């Protein structure tokens, strides 16, 4: 109950801030300019005329949130640092190569300190595509492919959390052919912090490899929408012992995004083909948005999943006692207030979830939080 009251206070404070800044006139514009000036500070160096080092900046993110679960099972409340990361990013050798190293500092759970991203990427004109080598995130599904810096809800949907691959070492090529963009990567089946020694590359790879491929198209020019794009993602994994990719031989995501004025709509049709001991999973995720102003946005999401072994949200629903089932649906409704786009935002939301299983979980989770990145 105490955390629930804190959530309400946080949301009320956010609304008060919204009311003040929405009527601030020239002062609001000045604040926006001040914010942009602050975000220039981590950009340490930039000189396109140099060869060895053309650009250097610090990168990081901090996400704090509260969650309060109420259901017919025991309630659960938490106040936590959801993500805290710090690293650097540089462009070298005439700007053709990008090197990035980012490390997890805290994410509200154990095993906090490890590399999140550690790769080198070539994007020069000598090749008709980009090549990324190292610890990275395989592209799969709309929500998983969207960085946690810019996701519109506090947590990704149940089905995406259950099926999306984790960051791991591999090689990826990506580019554009005609009107279509593509991505193809081969990745090792274990994560960098899942085995002794923490080596990114080497002989220790008991979980084999998996492949992720994507093809998509931005067809905004030929449509009446401000933005319009579709993408088909395919993940192929034949090693059930992998802890970077889930134990499904083929996982497909057909996702689509539209924006027209203040309205936006993201959708995802997902299917995972199971192997022995893992039943097929099928789901749909619909995520509409509406901009009430240039800073305030309403976000909703509906998730419907089908198939045995559907896992509830492990961060909150499982801690309240929810168990896996053969049917899952949820409805999320939230408000996002962007003080400086996604770089600094206040979020609030509520999600209702229903799981068909032995204890038939039926409950609500109330969220509030602050997120920023640089």
Mean pLDDT (whole number) for 183-190: 95
Lowest mean pLDDT among 147-156, 284-293, 309-318: 309-318
Q: What is the domain extent for residue 29?
A: 2-373
pLDDT digits (tens, 9 = 90+) for 228-257: 999 999 999 988 888 899 989 999 999 999
pLDDT digits (tens, 9 = 90+) for 287-307: 999 999 999 999 999 999 999
How far is the C-alpha of 27 from the C-alpha of 17, rounded, in Å?
Answer: 13
How far is the C-alpha of 68 from the C-alpha of 49, rounded, in Å?
Answer: 53
Give pTM, 2 decimals: 0.87
pLDDT digits (tens, 9 = 90+) for 305-315: 999 999 999 89
pLDDT digits (tens, 9 = 90+) for 64-98: 999 999 988 888 999 999 999 999 999 999 999 99
Number of domains in the chain: 1
Cβ within 8 Å of residue 39, ≥6 positions away: 340, 343, 374
Mean pLDDT, the chain, integer = 87
> 291: how many CB neighbours lie within 10 A of its CB?
16
Which of 287, 372, 280 minimizes the C-alpha distance to 333?
287
- Check residues 206 and 82 and name the one with the higher pLDDT: 82
- Check residues 117 and 194 and name the one with the higher pLDDT: 117
Tell me the CATH number at 92: 2.40.160.10
Mean pLDDT (whole number) for 45-74: 95
Token pair recorded at residue 72:
């017919």
């Amino acid at each position: 109950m105490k955390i629930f009251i804190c959530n309400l206070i946080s949301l009320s404070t956010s609304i008060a801030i919204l009311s003040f800044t929405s009527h601030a006139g020239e002062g609001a514009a000045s604040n926006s300019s001040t914010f942009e000036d602050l975000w220039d500070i981590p950009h340490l160096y930039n000189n396109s005329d140099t060869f060895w080092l053309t650009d250097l900046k610090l990168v990081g993110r901090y996400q704090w949130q509260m969650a309060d679960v109420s259901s017919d099972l025991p309630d659960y409340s938490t106040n936590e640092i959801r993500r805290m990361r710090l690293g650097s990013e540089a462009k070298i050798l005439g700007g053709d190569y990008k090197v990035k190293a980012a490390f997890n500092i805290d994410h509200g759970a154990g095993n906090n300190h490890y590399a999140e991203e550690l790769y080198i990427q070539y994007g020069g004109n000598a090749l008709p595509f980009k090549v990324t080598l190292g610890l990275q995130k395989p592209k799969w599904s709309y929500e998983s492919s969207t960085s946690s810096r810019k996701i519109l809800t506090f947590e990704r949907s149940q089905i995406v959390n259950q099926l999306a691959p984790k960051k791991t070492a591999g090689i990826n090529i990506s580019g554009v052919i005609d009107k279509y963009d593509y991505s193809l990567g081969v990745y090792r089946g274990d994560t960098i912090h899942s085995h002794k020694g923490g080596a990114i590359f080497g002989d220790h790879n008991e979980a084999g490899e998996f492949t992720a491929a994507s093809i998509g198209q931005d067809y905004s020019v030929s449509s009446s929408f401000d933005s319009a794009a579709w993408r088909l993602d395919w993940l192929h994994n034949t090693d059930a012992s992998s802890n970077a990719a889930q134990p499904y031989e083929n996982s497909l995501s057909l996702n689509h995004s539209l924006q027209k004025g203040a309205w936006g709509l993201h959708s995802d049709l997902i299917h995972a083909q199971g192997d022995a001991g893992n039943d097929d999973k099928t789901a749909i995720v619909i995520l509409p948005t509406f901009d009430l102003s240039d800073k305030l946005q309403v976000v909703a999401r509906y998730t419907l999943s089908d198939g045995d072994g559907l896992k509830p949200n492990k961060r909150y629903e499982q801690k309240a006692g929810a168990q896996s089932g053969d049917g899952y649906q949820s409805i999320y409704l939230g408000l996002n207030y962007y003080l400086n786009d996604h770089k600094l935002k206040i979020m609030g939301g509520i999600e209702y979830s229903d799981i068909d299983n032995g204890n038939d979980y039926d409950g609500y989770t109330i969220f509030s939080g602050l997120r920023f990145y640089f």
